[in-house]
Amino acid sequence: MMDLSTLIQLLDSTLRLATPLLFACLAGLFSERAGIFDIGLEGKMLAAAFFAAAAAAMTGSVWLGLVAGIASSVALSLLHGAASITFRGNQLISGVAINFLAAGLTVVIGEAWFELGGRTPALEGAARFQEITLPLAGTLSGIPVLGPLYAEVLSGHSILVYVGLLAVPATWFVLFRTRFGLRLRAVGENPGAVDTAGISVVRLRYSAVIICGLLCGLAGAHLATGLSAGFVKDMSAGRGFIALAALIFAKWRPWYALGACLLFGLLDALGNRFQSLDLFGATVPTQFMQALPYILTVVILAGFVGKATPPRAGGTPYVKER
């Protein structure tokens, strides 16, 4: 049986590990709701992680690192937007190209700048996001069960973890309670009708990919300056693809996305916490435990979680009728 202390530590790790997935999942949600499929979430996260860590290492300021990470991710999003919206290219190929571009450039630029094999120097002090203690965490910690959940699971994270949690209701409100959100969803379902109403499909889709870049920038910055203390080669480790699987699992809805990302975060935390596990008299190997998030990704993408219908106009360039 798992004791309370172990469970608390596991939930604490789950929240930390789920945060970059959540940012990337919400990024894909905005993009795909507007009809732009984005396989390039992985590449944008990776680029943001590198430039956030590089800028933080050179300036000593994590906030300048965050700005640099977001700027790099938005730049790649605009590149994806130009390819798939302006030039009406294949959205999947454009996303894959961004992944390759980010994987190569981060290592080449990192070696040129720091000569550490593509890594950045270790980040310390003001170059990293520090943990925040929530109000009354010490006072409430003595309350059975609920106290440790607040003081040790919810409290003690970097600011980006809380921004990620707040981004879920903010995304829900923007998409389902604002005129902009209504138009954005309409563009993903029937761009012709939106165009007929005199609303620019191109502007709305570019708005969506910019928001996607912003959120991917937060995801990458959290990876390198919150979850870790610097950048290493390919540190996104497939999280962009896991976020896409979580988005499909959540059926393109913000609150479901939170649950899906927490599930993936829990599996990741289990793999890190239990390097091997005795189950029904048999030892589960380390490799299987660490592969759990990727196994679930394959299961979801294979269609074993039920029917998930994407936006009808997703992946299709819009050609204005004359």
Nearest by Cα to 131 from 158, 151, 163, 165: 158
pLDDT tens-digit profile of 254-263?
Answer: 999 999 999 9
**pLDDT of the residue at 148:** 85
As a whole number of angstroms, the distance between CA 142 and CA 199 comes to 56
Domain presence at residue 89: yes
Q: How far is CA 203 from CA 34, 183, 277, in A?
A: 11, 11, 52
**pLDDT of the residue at 50:** 97
Domain presence at residue 314: no
Compute the average pLDDT of residues 248-257: 92
Q: Kindly tell me if the per-residue pLDDT of 315 is higher than 80.
A: yes
pLDDT tens-digit profile of 11-38?
Answer: 999 999 999 999 999 999 999 999 999 9
Q: Kindly tell me if the per-residue pLDDT of 151 is higher than 60.
A: yes
Cβ-contact 129, 159 below 8 angstroms: yes
CATH code where residue 220 lies: 1.10.3470
Q: At what angle do helices 254-273 and 159-177 cross, to 10 degrees?
A: 150
Domain presence at residue 306: no
Domain presence at residue 253: yes
**pLDDT of the residue at 309:** 78
**pLDDT of the residue at 142:** 79
Q: Kindly tell me if the per-residue pLDDT of 270 is higher than 80.
A: yes
Question: How many domains does the chain fold into?
Answer: 1
Q: Kindly tell me if the per-residue pLDDT of 68 is higher than 90.
A: yes
Confidence label for 275 from pLDDT (cuts 50, 70 and 90) = low
β strands within the chain, DSSP E: 277-279, 282-284
**pLDDT of the residue at 282:** 65
- pLDDT > 70: what percent of the chain? 93
Q: Kindly tell me if the per-residue pLDDT of 302 is higher than 80.
A: no
Domain presence at residue 311: no
Comparison of pLDDT for 72 and 321, the residue scoring more:
72
Q: Kindly tell me if the per-residue pLDDT of 287 is higher than 80.
A: no
Would you tell me how many other CB atoms lie within 10 Å of the CB of residue 53?
Answer: 35
Nearest by Cα to 241 from 249, 230, 231: 249
> Domain range holding 274?
4-301
Domain presence at residue 296: yes
Torsion angles phi and psi, residue 18, rounded to 5: -80, -20
Q: Kindly tell me if the per-residue pLDDT of 277 is higher than 70.
A: no
Domain presence at residue 307: no
